[in-house]
Chain A
Amino acid sequence: DTAVSQTPKYLVTQMGNDKSIKCEQNLGHDTMYWYKQDSKKFLKIMFSYNNKELIINETVPNRFSPKSPDKAHLNLHINSLELGDSAVYFCASSGEGATDTQYFGPGTRLTVL
């Protein structure tokens, strides 16, 4: 029983393409996140949704658009992919409380050629 799952695990694509990454959690959490981890292992928050509403939106290009169809899912759509978008993207979820810890998915390794 995977708590936070992401698909696909690997994504290789050409510059300029549009791609999506899907995330699902079965923990009953209200809050979901997208993080980007670069080649130097820096993990940075991109977005956070609470019960389908955007609550955190860091300085991320408009080409990145999160979509939350329901509170168990948070998908990430990326338009016009660039070389610099190559990274590992992690989805995470947490309960509604300010002290609730975050549980991470296994990551999606995106390579833009």
Chain B
Amino acid sequence: QKEVEQDPGPLSVPEGAIVSLNCTYSNSAFQYFMWYRQYSRKGPELLMYTYSSGNKEDGRFTAQVDKSSKYISLFIRDSQPSDSATYLCAMGRGAQKLVFGQGTRLTINP
């Protein structure tokens, strides 16, 4: 079993839909949780960063961490075609040694 599991998709939704992306993990020592967005042929860029449990909101993006279930989520509201990318979850005991999920490829259709 991988330390971090993420459905690779692909996931295709219409513009304006609410998107839900998820990861599960097995290491209860993880404290730092991130979501990265990676456009085709580009490097990952940090989207959201959460420490421990709880929710964090930034514009149209909301990150949730449920440590009791070892489950993290990223919600995208009012999705736009420019949100089409691969979304990678990442986590670790510290922010330096991160374990990444496989990434979910998301397409928002106009």
Contacts and interface: CB of A to CB of B under 8 A. Distances in A.
Contacts of A66: none
B94 A42 contact: no
B60 interface: no
A82 to B, nearest CB: 23
Interface in B25-82: 32, 34, 36, 41-46, 49, 51
Contact of B98 (A45, A99, A106): A45
B64 to A, nearest CB: 18
Contacts of B45: 103-104
A40 B36 CA distance: 16
A41 B102 contact: yes
B43 A41 contact: no
Contact of B96 (A4, A43, A98): A98
Interface residues of A, number: 26
A101 B46 contact: yes
Interface in A15-73: 31, 40-45, 48, 55-56
A103 B46 contact: yes
Interface in A79-113: 90, 92, 94, 97-107, 109
Interface of A: 4, 31, 40-45, 48, 55-56, 90, 92, 94, 97-107, 109
Interface of B: 8, 32, 34, 36, 41-46, 49, 51, 86, 88, 90, 94-98, 100, 102-103, 105
22 contacts: A40-B8, A42-B100, A43-B88, A43-B103, A48-B97, A56-B96, A56-B97, A90-B43, A92-B43, A94-B96, A97-B95, A98-B94, A99-B51, A100-B96, A102-B46, A103-B45, A104-B36, A104-B44, A106-B43, A107-B42, A107-B43, A109-B41
